[in-house]
Amino acid sequence: MDNCIFCKIVRGEIPSFKIYEDEKTYAFLDIADDYEGHTLVIPKAHCVNVLDCPGEVMAAVMATVQKLSRHYVEDCGYEGVDLFNCSGEAAQQSVFHFHMHIIPRKSGDGIDMFPAKPKKGTDMEKLCEKLALKS
């Protein structure tokens, strides 16, 4: 896609701090510089988010996510990783090219990805009925 910032990065029109590249995926540091090692993994083929990403493209992205996550833990001194994706405006997606975030983690790094929140009192049985995928 011509105006997509991530497509421009893949094409080399915008510089990036490349971590890894293969035939189908590209991984680079997030210039937000908010977390040490914050890495974005994208497919080279443009898709908007997880909702329109073909299965084979999703599989390639996740294989790269796993490869880099293992590398960060086994070779780079991190102890774990947080992974996340935002799909859709309501989910705070800011760049509309599918991407996975990898946040390398160390014990005591001060990052709280899941701050405590009060329970909502949800009727879990009704919610399960609503969300269950019927085969």
For tokens 């908010």, name the residue: 34
* 30 contacts: CB under 8 Å, gap ≥ 6: 38, 39, 40, 101
Among 38, 71, 99, 101, the active-site one is: 99
Tell me, yes or no, if 38 is annotated catalytic. Answer: no
What distance in Å separates the CA atoms of residue 127 and residue 94, rounded to the nearest whole number? 28
Answer for the pair 7, 16: CB distance below 8 angstroms, yes or no.
no
Q: How far apart are CA 62 and CA 81, in angstroms?
A: 14
Distance CA 107, CA 89 (A): 32
| Residues with catalytic function | 99
